[in-house]
């Protein structure tokens, strides 16, 4: 018999999920009894489906749903047909299993550089709230990369590892190894809460510790409960640690009709969320987490004595969009209100449930929370959330200005120990860097943390270890941030080609050359070496490296072609906008040169490139680019004869050749930097 499907509006849905549902007719009771949610091997179709808008139960017809919604419905809580597909001899899995394995933390991929028969493999992504990685897990991941991957580890923009190149027959071995070494990939992908961000710095400060504890609790609250992950990879053996009682209480509380009663997934049900869901927690001023790009942003608010009192909450951020579809767009989160510290889990749960019940499930391009809020407006959204929360939000508290904090270099933790933040280009740990990190982390038994900017932090270092670790890092090419090009420090790129199936053009493989070209233009137009901008590159418009927050964002829109986005700011608080479309990679300097030259000539004191482009306006900037004829040659009256003797010239020329420059270029660069440093000193 085909299960009957019942469509209900929000009010009736609350009643059905609430324990006090006796007011509904016997027909509802009959349907509930016939079609209970089940975590057993026998699957029953879910009774309730979340809708984009409330409908009339008596007159409605079934709402269109995306294919993924059908896969979830028929999966017995994300088990079938993945469990069967993993047992076949084929190197790949079918379409339904490909969608379901995302919930387990994996994507099916193939090498797009290869022609002919597709060479399938799987990317695994870990779940590391706050970016915390134990010594044991780091060493296990390092081993797995060599034994089953492509010999590299990738640090992601959501503080996790990605392990590429795992073939199907090795999936269970790799997954179970991660689980048995204090790790997890559960929910790192798929239509549920992803990894929860928090500042990676291991400061022993009340606000930082409270932010990290809150991130851990939110991650635990929104972790799937039906056991499908452990059933699949460790034959049902449970490795979950004991949860804080406040998490257990908040998850089970159904006072305001948030839960599915008697379901293996009390928050998610069988359908989980309409799309991915992202949360970040931080402290005032520290925007290392790109707070406003998340579905929920949470900020610790403390009193004058530094004691955490509650949280400002922001909602509706998100980066993904689709080219040539203006109805899709990146969006910044906006404030919904303030809650006392004991209410944070209930408020987050209420927001998640509002998205679960009202987010669109017919077209996945519009399924993120940002589109619901854009459609409803923040006032209506707040009102609906408050019904699930059971309280009114208080006005948000005033906060100081935000700034991007890299947490690179050596710092005191506050407990007598040190931490060291290390820059890793595009987060790719490979070669000598990988070997060096392994040796140091293993020798000193260090825990580590991954930053939201694809870097790594070595934690809990004894002061006496600082010198030998510094020497070992330098020998492995891991230099202090003062020796890294400032452009590289803030740059990010997604993996893109060859493994990402969505990539249109290069990102990670292309960004080293792109940054060198930006630096070359800086030199050409007279900008000093210590000058920098935020550059982010993605191979497609989905925005994994958050290019829409960059001062200069390059978004792949064709083979060897990019959209250019301008207007983000260094503090990551302003959304960039599209400046140019379809700029071929060989033509980028035609746009860069006039923009950077104009910035150097017309900027206000200490004005960032992003602020400059916003102040000038795109119409004026387009005019400057269109009329550009090249960098003006300096007047002869400004000519400076740098060298007075042959010996000095030859010495400088030898140094210049190392950097592919001539003696005059290097000398002028040194002079410009010296003058700039003197001017900066006077202006401070």
Q: Note the pLDDT of residue 176.
A: 98
Backbone torsions φ then ψ of 410, nearest 5 degrees: -90, 135
Rounded average pLDDT over 254-266: 97
Strand residues in 75-229 grouped as ranges (E): 106-110, 120-125, 132-133, 153-155, 161-166
Measured between alpha carbons, how far is 365 from 362 in angstroms, rounded to an integer?
A: 9
Integer Cα distance of 141 and 185 in angstroms: 12
Closest CA to 551 of 576, 582, 527: 576
The Cα-based distances of 564 to 488, 535, 589, 595, 602 in angstroms read: 18, 11, 12, 12, 21
Using alpha carbons, list the distances in angstroms from residue 222 to 228, 276, 517, 533, 670.
15, 12, 43, 36, 54
Task: Look up the pTM and report it.
Answer: 0.85
Q: DSSP letter for 666, please.
A: H
For 324-346, the pLDDT digits (tens) are 999 999 999 999 999 999 999 99
- The string of pLDDT tens digits covering residues 75-113 is 999 999 999 999 999 999 999 999 999 999 999 999 999
**What is the greatest pairwise CA distance in the chain?**
101
> Tens digits of per-residue pLDDT, 455-479?
999 999 999 999 999 999 999 999 9
pLDDT given at position 36: 32
Per residue in 368-393, pLDDT (tens digit) is: 999 999 999 999 999 999 999 999 99
User: Contact 107/99 with Cβ under 8 angstroms?
Assistant: no
């Amino acid at each position: 018999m085909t299960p009957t499907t019942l469509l209900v509006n929000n009010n009736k849905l609350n009643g059905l999920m609430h324990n006090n549902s006796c007011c509904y007719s016997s027909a509802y009771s009959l349907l509930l009894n016939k079609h209970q949610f089940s975590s057993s091997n026998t699957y029953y179709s879910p009774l309730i489906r979340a809708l984009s808008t409330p409908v009339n139960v008596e007159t409605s017809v079934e709402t269109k749903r995306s294919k993924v919604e059908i896969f979830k419905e028929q999966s017995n809580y994300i088990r079938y047909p993945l469990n069967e597909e993993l047992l076949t001899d084929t190197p790949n899995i079918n379409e339904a299993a490909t969608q379901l394995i995302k919930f387990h933390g994996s994507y099916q991929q193939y090498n797009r550089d290869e022609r002919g028969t597709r060479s399938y493999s799987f990317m695994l992504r870990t779940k590391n709230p706050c970016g915390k990685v134990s010594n044991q897990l780091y060493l296990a991941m390092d081993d797995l990369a060599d034994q089953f991957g492509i010999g590299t580890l990738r640090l992601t923009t959501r503080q996790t590892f990605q392990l590429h190149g795992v073939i199907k027959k090795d999936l269970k071995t790799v997954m179970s190894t991660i689980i048995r070494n204090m790790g997890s990939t559960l929910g790192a992908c798929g239509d549920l809460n992803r990894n929860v961000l928090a500042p990676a710095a291991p400061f022993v400060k009340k606000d930082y510790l409270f932010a990290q504890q809150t991130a851990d609790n939110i991650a635990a609250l929104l972790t799937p409960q039906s056991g499908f992950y452990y059933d699949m990879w460790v034959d049902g053996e449970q490795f979950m640690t004991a949860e804080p009682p406040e998490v257990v209480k908040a998850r089970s509380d159904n006072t305001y009709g948030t839960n599915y009663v008697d379901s293996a997934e009390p928050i998610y049900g069988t359908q989980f969320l309409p799309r991915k869901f992202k949360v970040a927690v931080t402290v005032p001023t520290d925007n290392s987490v790109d707070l406003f790009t998340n579905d929920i942003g949470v900020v610790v608010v403390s009193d004058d004595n530094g004691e955490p009192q509650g949280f400002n909450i922001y909602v509706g951020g998100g980066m993904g969009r689709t080219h040539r579809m203006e109805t899709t767009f990146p969006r910044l989160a906006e404030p919904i209100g303030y809650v006392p510290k004991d209410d944070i889990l209930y408020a987050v749960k209420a927001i998640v449930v509002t998205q679960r019940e009202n987010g669109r499930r017919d077209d996945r391009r519009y399924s993120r929370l940002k589109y619901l809020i854009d459609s409803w407006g923040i006032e209506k959204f707040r009102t609906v959330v408050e019904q699930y929360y059971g309280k009114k939000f208080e006005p948000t508290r005033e906060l100081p200005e935000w700034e991007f904090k890299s947490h690179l270099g050596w710092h005191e933790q506050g407990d007598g120990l040190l931490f060291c933040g290390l820059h890793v280009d595009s987060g790719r740990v490979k070669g000598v860097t990988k070997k060096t990190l392994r040796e140091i982390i293993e020798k000193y038994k260090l825990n580590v943390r991954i930053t939201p900017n694809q870097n790594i932090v070595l934690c809990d270092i004894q002061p006496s270890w600082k010198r030998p670790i510094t020497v070992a890092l330098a020998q492995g090419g891991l230099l202090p941030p003062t020796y890294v090009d400032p452009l590289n420090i803030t740059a990010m790129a997604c993996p893109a080609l060859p493994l990402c199936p969505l990539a249109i053009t290069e990102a990670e493989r292309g960004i080293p050359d792109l940054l060198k070209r930006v630096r070359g233009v800086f030199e050409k137009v007279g900008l000093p070496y210590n000058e920098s901008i935020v550059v982010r590159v993605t191979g497609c418009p989905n925005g994994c490296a958050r290019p829409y927050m960059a001062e200069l964002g390059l978004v792949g829109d064709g083979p060897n072609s990019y959209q250019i986005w301008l207007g983000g700011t260094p503090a990551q608080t302003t959304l960039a906008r599209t400046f140019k479309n379809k700029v071929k990679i060989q033509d980028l300097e035609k746009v860069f040169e006039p923009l950077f030259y104009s910035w150097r000539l017309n900027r206000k004191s200490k004005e960032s490139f992003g602020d400059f482009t916003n102040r000038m306006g795109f119409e004026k900037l387009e005019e400057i680019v269109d009329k550009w004829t090249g960098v003006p040659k300096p007047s002869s009256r400004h000519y400076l004869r740098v060298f007075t003797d042959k010996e000095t010239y030859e010495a400088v020329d030898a140094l210049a050749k190392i950097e592919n420059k001539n003696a005059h270029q290097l000398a002028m660069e040194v002079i410009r930097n010296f003058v700039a440093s003197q001017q900066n000193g006077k202006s401070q």
